[in-house]
Amino acid sequence: MHPVYTFGECDTYFTFNSFLKDLRVLLNKYKVPTVLFFGSSWMPLFPRTEAEVHTVVGQGMAFPKLEGAALTDAAVDEWHAAYVKALVALFDAHKGALGKGHVQLEVQ
């Protein structure tokens, strides 16, 4: 598996996070998606063409095949943490060259 990160993807669309927030939160409780966004000025459903998008690919990582007794929450957490660590390292290695030197990657 390779850690992969795409810089600039969040710049392809504008979103309205605070527009009618109370109504949107209420509708989300009933599983009604309420996303307001637009991209290109001439075709709002298409992404903005002036957004620069760069994808970087990290070194391959080998993960064990977890089966039976080896498949525990602790083992999954361990390997997930290893992937997240590699992803953050990849982000940090390239963020300066791609104009995001001030940004910290948050993985939830």
Residue 108 lies in a domain: no
Whether 13 and 48 have beta carbons less than 8 Å apart is answered as yes
Residue 102 lies in a domain: no
Whether 60 and 11 have beta carbons less than 8 Å apart is answered as no
* Triad 22, 26, 30: Cα angle to 5°: 160
pLDDT at 28: 84
Instruction: Name every residue whose Cβ is closer than 8 Å to that of residue 90 and which is 6 or more positions away in sequence.
Output: 3, 4, 5, 56, 58
Structural domain containing residue 58: 4-94
Residue 67 lies in a domain: yes
Residue 100 lies in a domain: no
Residue 77 lies in a domain: yes
Measured between alpha carbons, how far is residue 19 from residues 23, 27, 35, 42 in Å?
9, 13, 10, 22
pTM of the model: 0.77
* Local confidence band at 103 (pLDDT 50, 70, 90 cut-offs): very high
Residue 104 lies in a domain: no
Number of domains in the chain: 1
pLDDT at 47: 94
Residue 105 lies in a domain: no
